[in-house]
Chain A
Amino acid sequence: MSGIAVNAPQTIQLLMGNEAIARGALEAGVGVAAAYPGTPSTDIIDSLADVAKDLNLYVEWSVNEKVALEVAAGASLGGVRALTAMKQLGLNVALDFLANVSLTGIKSGLVLVVCDDPGALSSTNEQDSRNIAKMFDLPLLEPATAQEAKDMTKWAFELSEQISNVCLVRSVTRISHARGNVVLGELREVSARASFDTTQKPYTTIMGGAPQYHRVLHENLTKIAQIFESSPFNGYAGPERPELLIITCGTGWLYSWEAIKMLSLQDSVGILKLGTTWPLPGELVKRHMMKAEKILVVEEVDAFLENNLKVLAVDSLPGRDRIFYGKHSGHINPFGEINTDIVIRALTNILNTKYIIRDEAYRQKATEILNRYVVFRETQFCPGCPHRGLFWALKDSLRLDGQEGVLTGDIGCYGSGVGSTGFKQLKTMHSMGSGIGVANGLGKLEQFGFKQPVLATCGDSTFFHAAIPALINGIHSKANFILLLLDNSGTAMTGFQPHPGIPMNAVGDPAPAVDIGDLCRGLGVPVEIVDPYDIEDTTQKLLNVLRHSGRPRVIISQRECSLMRARSEKPLYQMDVVAHQCQGETCGCNRFCTRVFRCPGLMWNTNTKKVEIDQAICVGCGVCVDICPQSAITRKEIR
């Protein structure tokens, strides 16, 4: 059985933060888990799906985060503990429901794990989701280690039931994706007595009384703050009267420890580590703040903790001079990730000491070595990615068409279409499904003199997630746009999770698939299917569709993600370069294949000054054959 489901209490497992969260849910007896994939949260549901059959759980990849939260809430109302996990942007999608369910409350434990992405390593924004807990008056836990990730998740179910409301756990990339030792607890069996009590008053605020529900929320917060006062996830270590008190949470805790150790400040600097960051355990915090005049708040992204501490200090510790350092003083950056160096710099600045973080000569040498051995790689589509063929055809057709067509888009692998891997074709890229929504707007500007064709890209998973209402909107408003559905048969960007268009569910069982083409046709939109590996035909079909305007049209580009395909099937073609046919630098093509087409499977040999196939990564899609003006690249069918 998978590491997270091993029934061996008190043993130590090396778990990824996200696996630890999943394990915590199992130890709490979670029965239902639902989510839409999104880095860095995806592995939580992925690992629960892996053990779902063995432990009799219900795990699903939902169509989007709002539905996922609703599914989890439904389970909770039916008496089953439920978990949903999402990235920060996904939480925004779920907010409308969260704003309501937080007022009406739930029954069995309902935990919402949000994994923020400081530094936006795999996101289009950087947001501090802790503000959402405060906004909706919900308890918030912030793990600092893999162990805490497990323990806090388990505890969150209990807290949730104590106040009959959602409990939030906030992780970040470095907690979710790092591995650490976790001492396991008991697995708890899932209750099999699910039912909905129809005699209870309905879960709604619609009959009037939202303010009353709101009042209850505030009472709950007081109750939760009391519980937090004695939480083992909060604690102080350091001298009795520190010269400087660090108050920290999440990733900031270990960074702070390391900094103190490196600077040998154990005797003068203390750390108050908080695991329960909303509501604040006021008494505990006050006790420690009273003992120090200088306070450095170390946290990632917003000054969430810092601002709340300042309010507490003003309200509860009047007349005392206290200096706060942190985001507002400029000692800790309020954007991007933080690290030990940043804490060291803050400490040396505040305490007026010196510490050389990195020797200059060493730094120079390291940079030099890096530049020598590490190959620069831009964000690019994988070898054989169907998006490359589609974007190529799109680029050519827009140039040939000559009407300055505008391509809008959204988030997905194809979002890289803004860069040179997508030949810089994508001109807007925002949230899930936003390309088609923006295209709706651009497509209604004819009366203001707008003449350019409008196209929107959208992936198959994204289509189900957020694009269908926008398409319906465009049909009804007769907006003039072309929807390019890049159907690569899965949620490729997050690791090939299935979606409602795939005939398989999260646990690998057969499931009814919703056909995208049929769905669009059912809405009354003309639909054309293209194969992005056939550049000529795709270009021609795009050119044809660019000629007709006046209503939305759909082109579905159909090819399975080449990485997914490579897992189960042989390459389509054996690719080779006929060396005497490739004229290299004398061709006049100016390295068209590697400089413009840029598939990573094509390598420019700087010695022979000719192209070669990188057989180690080429997946044999065969598209580059049609790119070479000298027909020097060949493909042989593999049987």
Chain B
Amino acid sequence: MVNSKACEELDTKVIKTGLCTLCGACVGNCPYLAAYEGRVLLKDVCDLPQGRCQAACPRISLDLDELSEVVFGGPYPEDGLGTARYVVMARTTDSKIRARAQDAGAVTALMKFAMEEGFINSAILTSFEDKSWPRGIVASNDEQILKCSGSSYLAAPTIESFNQVIQNPNHQSIGFIGTPCQVMALVKMRTAPPEISQNLDKLKLIVGLFCTWALAYPDFGRFLEKKISDPVVRYEVPPHPANVLSAYTDKERFSFSIDEVLPFVRPACRFCLDLTAEFADLSVGGGRGEVLNWNTVVIRTERGMRLFDSAAKKGVIETAPIPEGNLSRLKAAAYNKKKRAIENIIQRTGCTDDLLYLKGRPGIIKRLVAECREGSL
């Protein structure tokens, strides 16, 4: 479409079709779009044919090879885990972090360390309170970082906060913790024209979080309101085979079977290929089996590796090798997420030529499309 308006196209092709991940990349520095209570919406009519919104949105178009080239200097890999230097188990040595953390506190510990060591001077994190909708915040000290540990499993427009501070001269080196969709958006922004990407070199560290799905506000919030009257202080999805989502108040734990929770998953998650935040500097997830109380960490980039090694050397985190079975299970899970996404995309478009937002055909995508085609025969 030659003369289409960027904003409106985003609205009709991404937001209204349920492809929007609520990553927040299009909001925060655009006066036309806003994120509010779990959705992105168009507040006013912008008639620009091109804009920041499309340049940032990972769901209007995404070229995996291009992103891979920007971050790793090479094409999108065949491995389901993305480009990785090595995978290792890690956990914080700080008991204060451990007490609040989702798994083993590696994310919080690494971010705190990055700030203490001057890798970054501010961090964009996701904060949630009780059952309300989570939002991005800008943290500039330990205490603020610690307050954000843990997840609400709700999708959050965290990049909005990043967009709001990116031009502020007080924020010269910024760290970001986010989900795979958010990481993709940040990396896509780096491929944009200079007026959009000009300050992105301030982004010194991206810590990605493993993610299978995110829940939608306000629907899930309303669901919880009905079940839990006290404030929720922590959420947890314990590893297989628990198959529950637990919400903790100060007094007790409420567990809901995953089947009960799945209807609240954002529709956009069905089309997501990325389990392990493949374009982050390092990606962190939970542990299972013999390393249950550890984090799984995928070290991806040079700077990710430098930070991680330095943190390990200074005893901020302790590390352990990943058990062989865990690595293969992780790779299989990552591959399966891609496969489900491709299946859902093809089901939506009705043909294998149109993969919605995915532009370009890296080898692994070709393979997945072929598998889908065979599966349907």
A binds B: yes
Chain A neighbourhood of B42, CB < 8 A: 399
> Does A630 lie within 8 Å of B39, measured CB to CB?
no
* A399 to B37 alpha-carbon distance, docked (Å): 12
Task: Let me know if B78 is at the binding interface, CB within 8 A.
Answer: no
CB distance from B4 to the nearest CB of A (A): 15
* A388 to B30 alpha-carbon distance, docked (Å): 21
> Does A395 lie within 8 Å of B39, measured CB to CB?
no
> Does A596 lie within 8 Å of B44, measured CB to CB?
yes
Chain A neighbourhood of B86, CB < 8 A: none
Determine the residue in chain A with the shortest Cβ distance to B5.
A590
One of B47-55, B105-113, B205-213 contacting the partner = B47-55
Chain B neighbourhood of A589, CB < 8 A: 30-31
Chain B neighbourhood of A590, CB < 8 A: 32, 46-48, 51
> Does B52 lie within 8 Å of A588, measured CB to CB?
yes
Chain A neighbourhood of B45, CB < 8 A: 596
Chain A neighbourhood of B43, CB < 8 A: 395-396, 399-400
List A residues 561-577 near B (Cβ within 8 Å).
none
CB distance from B145 to the nearest CB of A (A): 26
Chain A neighbourhood of B41, CB < 8 A: 399-400, 402
> Does A630 lie within 8 Å of B34, measured CB to CB?
no
* A376 to B134 alpha-carbon distance, docked (Å): 46
Chain B neighbourhood of A629, CB < 8 A: 29-31
List A residues 594-610 near B (Cβ within 8 Å).
596
> Does A630 lie within 8 Å of B167, measured CB to CB?
yes
Chain A contact-residue range equals 10 to 19
* A629 to B51 alpha-carbon distance, docked (Å): 14
* A520 to B32 alpha-carbon distance, docked (Å): 36
Chain B contact-residue range equals 20 to 34
> Does A588 lie within 8 Å of B48, measured CB to CB?
yes
Determine the residue in chain A with the shortest Cβ distance to B28.
A629
Task: Let me know if A406 is at the binding interface, CB within 8 A.
Answer: no
* A592 to B33 alpha-carbon distance, docked (Å): 12
Q: Which 9 A-B pairs have the closest CB atoms?
A: A400-B36, A592-B31, A629-B31, A588-B52, A399-B43, A590-B48, A590-B46, A596-B44, A586-B195
CB distance from B66 to the nearest CB of A (A): 21
CB distance from B347 to the nearest CB of A (A): 28
Task: Let me know if A627 is at the binding interface, CB within 8 A.
Answer: yes
> Does A402 lie within 8 Å of B44, measured CB to CB?
no
* Residues of chain A having any CB pair with chain B under 8 Å: 395-396, 399-400, 402, 423, 583, 586, 588-590, 592, 596, 627, 629-630
Not counting A423-B44, A590-B46, A627-B31, a sample of 4 additional A-B residue pairs whose C-beta atoms are within 8 angstroms of each other reads A399-B42, A400-B37, A583-B195, A588-B51
* Residues of chain B having any CB pair with chain A under 8 Å: 29-32, 34, 36-37, 39, 41-48, 51-52, 167, 195-196
* Total A-B Cβ pairs within 8 A: 44
Chain B neighbourhood of A423, CB < 8 A: 44
Determine the residue in chain A with the shortest Cβ distance to B42.
A399
CB distance from A131 to the nearest CB of B (A): 44
* A629 to B47 alpha-carbon distance, docked (Å): 17
Chain B neighbourhood of A592, CB < 8 A: 31-32, 44
Chain A neighbourhood of B167, CB < 8 A: 630
Determine the residue in chain A with the shortest Cβ distance to B52.
A588
Determine the residue in chain B with the shortest Cβ distance to A399.
B43
* A627 to B43 alpha-carbon distance, docked (Å): 13
* A630 to B34 alpha-carbon distance, docked (Å): 15
Chain B neighbourhood of A630, CB < 8 A: 167
CB distance from A402 to the nearest CB of B (A): 7
Asked if A402 meets B31 with Cβ closer than 8 Å, knowing A588-B51, A590-B46, the reply is no
> Does B39 lie within 8 Å of A402, measured CB to CB?
yes
CB distance from B28 to the nearest CB of A (A): 9
Chain A neighbourhood of B195, CB < 8 A: 583, 586, 588
Determine the residue in chain B with the shortest Cβ distance to A402.
B41
Chain B neighbourhood of A396, CB < 8 A: 34, 43
CB distance from A269 to the nearest CB of B (A): 56
Determine the residue in chain A with the shortest Cβ distance to B48.
A590
Chain A neighbourhood of B29, CB < 8 A: 588, 629
Chain B neighbourhood of A400, CB < 8 A: 34, 36-37, 41, 43
* A583 to B48 alpha-carbon distance, docked (Å): 15
* A586 to B36 alpha-carbon distance, docked (Å): 26
Chain A neighbourhood of B37, CB < 8 A: 400
* A583 to B37 alpha-carbon distance, docked (Å): 30
CB distance from A56 to the nearest CB of B (A): 57
* A169 to B375 alpha-carbon distance, docked (Å): 89
